Amino acid sequence: MEFSSRMRQKYARLAGDRRELYPHSLQFYLEPPTESISLVEFESFAIDRLRLLKIVENLGVSYLKNADSYKTKLENELRKLKFPYKALAEDDYEARRKDHISHFILRLAYCQSEDLRRWFLQQEMDLFRYRFTQLTESLMQKFLEHVNLSFEAISEDLKKELENELCASTPGLSLPKVKEQMFYKVGLADAVDLFRTRRVFIKDGFAYVPFKEIDVIVLNNFRTKLSKALALTARSLPSIQSDERLQPLLNHLSHSYVGPDYSVQKNTGKISLEQIDALSVKSFPLCMRQLHRALRDSHHLRHGGRMQYGLFLKGIGLTLEQALEFWKKEFIRGKVDADKFDKGYAYSIRHNYGKEGKRTDYTPYSCMKIIMSNPPSQGDYHGCPFRHSDPELLKQKLQSYKIPPSGITQILELVKGMHFQLACQKYFELTHDVDDIGFSLNHPNQYFTESQKLLNGGRELKKELSNSGNSQQKNNTQESMNSNSTPTSSNTTDDTELEGLEAYFTED
Ligand code: SF4
Three-class HEC string of 193-259: HHHHCCCCEEECCEEEEEHHHHHHHHHHHHHHHHHHHHHHHHHCHHHHHCCCCHHHHHHHHHCCCCC
Burial of 143 (0-12, 13-18, 19+ CB in 10 A): buried
pLDDT-derived band at 196 (thresholds 50, 70, 90) equals confident
Q: What residues pair up with 152 in beta bridges, in sequence order?
A: 185
Residues 6+ apart with CB under 8 A from 378: none
Task: Indicate whether 484 pLDDT > 50.
Answer: no
Nearest CA to ligand 1 atom 2: 367
Task: Indicate whether 502 pLDDT > 50.
Answer: no
Q: Tell me whether residue 424 is annotated as binding.
A: yes
Burial 423-440 (b: 16+ CB within 10 A, else e): bbbbbbbbbbeeeebeeb
Query: What is the arithmetic mean of pLDDT over 85-98?
Result: 77
Ligand 1 atom closest to residue 446's alpha carbon, by position in its atom list: 7
Give pLDDT, residue 480. Answer: 37
Question: In the 8-state DSSP scheme, what is residue 356?
Answer: S
Residues 6+ apart with CB under 8 A from 34: none
Give pLDDT, residue 256. Answer: 67
Q: Nearest 5°: phi and psi at 113?
A: -150, 165
With vertex at residue 326, the alpha carbon angle to CA 322 and CA 329, rounded to the nearest 5 degrees, is 135
Query: What is the arithmetic mean of pLDDT over 421-432?
Result: 94
Q: Please give the Cα distance from 138 to 222 (Å, whole number).
A: 20
Give pLDDT, residue 251. Answer: 75
Task: Indicate whether 499 pLDDT > 60.
Answer: no
**One-letter amino acid identity for 380?**
D
Q: Nearest 5°: phi and psi at 210?
A: -70, 155
Lowest-confidence pick of 178-192, 253-267, 454-468:
454-468
In order of their start, the domains of the chain are: 20-145 (1.20.930.80), 146-216 (no CATH), 277-456 (no CATH)
Task: Indicate whether 392 pLDDT > 70.
Answer: yes
pLDDT tens for 94-112 read 899 999 999 999 998 889 8
Q: What residues pair up with 209 in beta bridges, in sequence order?
A: 184
Average confidence score pLDDT of the chain: 81
Lowest-confidence pick of 271-280, 327-336, 428-437, 476-485:
476-485
Please tell me the pTM assigned to this model.
Answer: 0.66
Q: Please give the Cα distance from 61 to 459 (Å, whole number).
A: 30
Q: Is 384 in the pocket of ligand 1 (CB under 6 A)?
A: yes
Give pLDDT, residue 320. Answer: 92
Q: Please give the Cα distance from 349 to 490 (Å, whole number).
A: 10
Q: What residues pair up with 186 in beta bridges, in sequence order?
A: 207
Give pLDDT, residue 38. Answer: 86
Task: Indicate whether 182 pLDDT > 60.
Answer: yes
Q: Tell me whether residue 111 is annotated as binding.
A: no
Query: What is the arithmetic mean of pLDDT over 197-207?
Result: 87
Give pLDDT, residue 100. Answer: 95
Give pLDDT, residue 458. Answer: 61
Q: Please give the Cα distance from 146 to 351 (Å, whole number).
A: 57
Alpha carbon of 110 to ligand 1 centroid (Å) = 20
Ligand 1 atom closest to residue 384's alpha carbon, by position in its atom list: 3
Give pLDDT, residue 266. Answer: 67
Q: Is 332 helix (H, G, I), strand (E, B) or coil?
A: coil
Lowest-confidence pick of 16-25, 218-227, 417-426:
16-25
pLDDT tens for 275-297 read 999 999 999 999 999 999 999 99
Give pLDDT, residue 265. Answer: 59
Q: Could you give the angle at which helices 93-109 and 39-62 cross, rounded to 10 degrees?
A: 80
Which mutation among 365, 422, 424 tests ligand 1's pocket best, with the greatest number of atoms within 8 A of CB?
424
Give pLDDT, residue 263. Answer: 67
Query: What is the arithmetic mean of pLDDT over 25-37?
Result: 88
Choose among 457, 435, 441, 309: nearest CA to 368: 441
